[in-house]
């Protein structure tokens, strides 16, 4: 992207960084989506008319609905910025495509399956072999605190302090949040620290910290050790298990939102599906008509 469009996008990204606290990866994603929109239009973004924007739906017809929705969202925010700054006298974004998306429910792990994974990891850690102790600490933090994979692998060695039941970390967009740490996780990390090879990171790997790809592989290996199909398990599935099992145990949706670090509660609701039998039980126990028949 060159010329006037490049200058406008620079100003737009400066605003996102300064006012919305957008992270570097978020800004790169916006730049990429706006550049692809400029390519599809074949003319300057800043000057695009309603009629030109209407044709983007056709140009993006081969893309996944989620991709179209993301690019359209980037354009809407861009044109809202141009309008608010007085760079344009109108906001043409109303004509942008609005594909219907159906977000799939995350894969489910039963509490007993997670317990099997934890037990298998504990059995291996009984040998006091360093890698087995590391793996136990990884799974205890993943399931016990609901950390994202990127948050877990980038924890500094000093993240958990003795006697403190939580840690403070920077999640998406650099937003800080408190994350609870169970006594089990504390103990697993303590055992791992005793044989830790040293360095800045709690989970070192290569020249820096453990990679997300390697974490993914380790989690699948632990699933296989517990007799669970590896393709059913990932770090995100364990984060989802943390959320759904807490909800089933009576956790409040707003509290869950804070624990997961979601800025929008609508995102949290994806994690809140429960089995049909529990819903039926809830209706039978709490609905006024059900009680009136007693």
Positions annotated as catalytic residues are 148, 172, 236, 239, 262, 271
The three-state secondary structure class of 180 is strand
The owner of tokens 């290569």 is 206
Spatial contact of 78 and 12, defined as CB atoms under 8 Å apart: yes
**CA distances to 128, 250, 294 from 288, in Å:** 56, 20, 10
Q: What are phi and psi of 86, to 5 degrees?
A: 75, 15
- Separation between Cα atoms, residue 265 and residue 254, nearest integer Å: 7
Ramachandran region, residue 204 (left: φ > 0; alpha: ψ -120 to 50; beta: rest): beta
- Separation between Cα atoms, residue 147 and residue 160, nearest integer Å: 14
Helix/strand number for the chain, H first, E second: 15, 4
Q: How far apart are the first and last CA of the chain?
A: 70
The three-state secondary structure class of 61 is coil
Q: Which residues pair with 201 in a beta bridge?
A: 156
């Amino acid at each position: 992207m060159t010329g006037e469009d490049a200058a406008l996008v620079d100003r737009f990204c400066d605003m996102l960084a300064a006012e919305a606290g957008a992270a570097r990866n978020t800004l790169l994603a916006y730049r990429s989506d706006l550049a692809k929109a400029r390519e599809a239009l074949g003319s300057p973004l800043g000057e695009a008319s309603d009629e030109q924007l209407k044709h983007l739906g056709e140009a993006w017809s081969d893309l996944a609905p989620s991709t179209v929705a993301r690019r359209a969202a980037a354009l809407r925010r861009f044109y809202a910025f141009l309008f608010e700054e007085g760079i344009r006298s109108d906001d043409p974004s109303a004509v942008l495509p609005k594909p219907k998306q159906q977000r799939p429910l995350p894969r489910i792990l039963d509490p007993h399956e997670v317990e099997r994974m934890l037990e298998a990891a504990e059995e291996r850690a009984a040998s006091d072999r360093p890698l087995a102790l590391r793996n136990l600490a990884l799974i205890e933090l993943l399931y016990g605190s609901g950390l994202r994979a990127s948050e877990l692998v980038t924890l500094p060695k000093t993240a958990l302090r003795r006697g403190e039941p939580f840690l403070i970390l920077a999640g998406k967009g650099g937003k800080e949040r408190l994350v609870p740490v169970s006594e089990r996780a504390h103990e697993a990390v303590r055992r791992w620290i005793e044989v830790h090879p040293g360095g800045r990171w709690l989970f070192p790997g290569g020249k820096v910290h453990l990679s997300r790809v390697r974490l993914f592989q380790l989690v699948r290996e632990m699933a296989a050790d517990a007799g669970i199909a590896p393709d059913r398990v990932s770090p995100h599935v364990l984060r989802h298990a943390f959320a759904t099992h807490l909800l089933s145990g009576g956790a409040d949706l707003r509290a869950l939102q804070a624990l997961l670090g979601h800025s929008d509660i609508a995102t949290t609701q994806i994690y809140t599906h429960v089995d049909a039998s529990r819903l039926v039980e809830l209706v039978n126990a709490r609905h006024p008509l059900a009680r009136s028949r007693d």
